[in-house]
Amino acid sequence: MDWKGRDVISVRDFSKEDIEFVLKVAERLEDELKNGPLDYAKGKILATLFFEPSTRTRLSFESAMHRLGGSVIGFSSASSTSVKKGESLADTIKTVEQYSDVIVIRHLMEGAARLAAEVAEIPVINAGDGSNQHPTQTLLDLYTIKRAFGRIDGLTIGLLGDLKYGRTVHSLAEALAFYDVELYLISPELLRMPKHIVEELREKIRIHETTDLEGTIPELDVLYVTRIQRERFPDEQEYLKVKGSYQVNCAVLKRAKESLRIMHPLPRVDEIHPEVDRTEHALYFRQVFSGVPVRMALLGLTLGVL
């Protein structure tokens, strides 16, 4: 697969080979970084177009580009751009590509990154389009698991929390279905993973749906925790019913394997107690770090400099 000029829009566009390749390149870059800064992207410019603010994701991409030796331009909210004056997304993209070599876009509308990629001649990377896709998050999640266990195949993984509205867990589950894993879907009844996704997964891997965290935790190698996000609920009453359904703390973890690793896309509210941070189980800050080599790999590959 030739990566130069390729867009990174949706996990759906990836094959297992694509994923494995990105993870391998990320691993190589992480090792190379130990010997000092890199200069693969010297002279290249990344434009970060954050029509909707997301400081963590933007900083992660900027850090990745700097560590590759490139530089960054961009904006972090639509109110500061000509979009406010009514400029179309297509025109913004066509303008910005005159200034840069690769574009990272975050937008509140679903499909915005796909549209941007169709308009732009240079590669476009999706950093989140509404409630649709956030493919670099999924890749860094897979990378984190692979670095922690040396493999993904053979693991038993629990996805916990909001499996209904959680974009992160939907695409992670779809990507995990490429591997030989067993999945536990742990959520309140109201927040079960959508039926069509469960059916799709069931064709490929072993799936268990449950509401019982404590009973399930002894089985798991990885527990992926998500936040129950108030803003995703169409109905406040529904939110209040499930808010605070689960909390991962040291008492719950007494039943877990010593090797259990806990992940979370962050930010968290109260679903993981801070006391867990000091245990060997906590993998979520390491997960944040993984974003950098993974995004370096994607930037470098699409720029054609790796």
Partner 1 sequence: MAELKVTAIREGTVIDHIPAGKGLKVIEILRLNRPNGGVLLLASNVHSGKLGRKDIVKIEGKFLSEEEVNKIALIAPTATVNIVRDYMVAEKFKVGIPDEITGILRCANPNCVSNHEYTVSKFYVVSREPLKVRCHYCERTMEEEEILGNL
CB neighbour list of residue 31: distance below 8 Å, 6 or more residues apart:
none
Task: Give the Cβ contact number of residue 94 at 10 Å.
Answer: 14
Shorter beta-carbon distance to partner 1: residue 111 or 188: 111
> Residues 131, 135, 137, 141: what is their CA dihedral angle, to the nearest 10 degrees?
120
Give the nearest distance from C-beta 174 to partner 1 in angstroms: 11
As measured in angstroms, the least distance from the Cβ of 167 to partner 1 is 11
End-to-end CA, the chain = 13
**Shortest Cβ distance from residue 130 to partner 1 (Å)?**
5
Output the smallest distance, CB 169 to partner 1, in A. 16
Query: Which tokens belong to 30?
Result: 């992480």
Shortest Cβ 89–partner 1 spacing (Å): 5
> How far, in whole angstroms, is CA 193 from its chain's centroid?
18
Phi, psi (rounded to 5 degrees) for 26: -60, -40
Q: Report the greatest alpha carbon distance in the chain.
A: 57
Nearer to partner 1 by C-beta: 52 or 270? 52
Nearer to partner 1, 131 or 279 (CB): 131
Pair of tokens at residue 56: 């963590």
Closest CA to 26 of 136, 126, 158: 136
Q: Give me the least distance between CB of 203 and partner 1, in Å please.
A: 14
Binding site for partner 1 (CB under 8 A): 10, 12, 88-90, 107-112, 114-115, 129-133, 196
Closer residue to partner 1 in complex, CB, 7/129:
129
Complex with partner 1: residue 196 or 278, whichever CB lies closer? 196
- For 103, the 3-state DSSP assignment is strand
Task: Give the Cα separation of 220 and 262 in Å (integer).
Answer: 10
Could you list the active site residues?
A: 56-57, 85, 106, 134
| Among 198, 161, 195, residue whose Cα is nearest residue 183 | 198
With b meaning 16 or more CB within 10 Å and e meaning fewer, what string describes 262-301? bbbbeeeeebbeeebeeeebbbbeebbebbbbbbbbbbbb
Closer CB to partner 1, 136 or 290, in the complex: 136
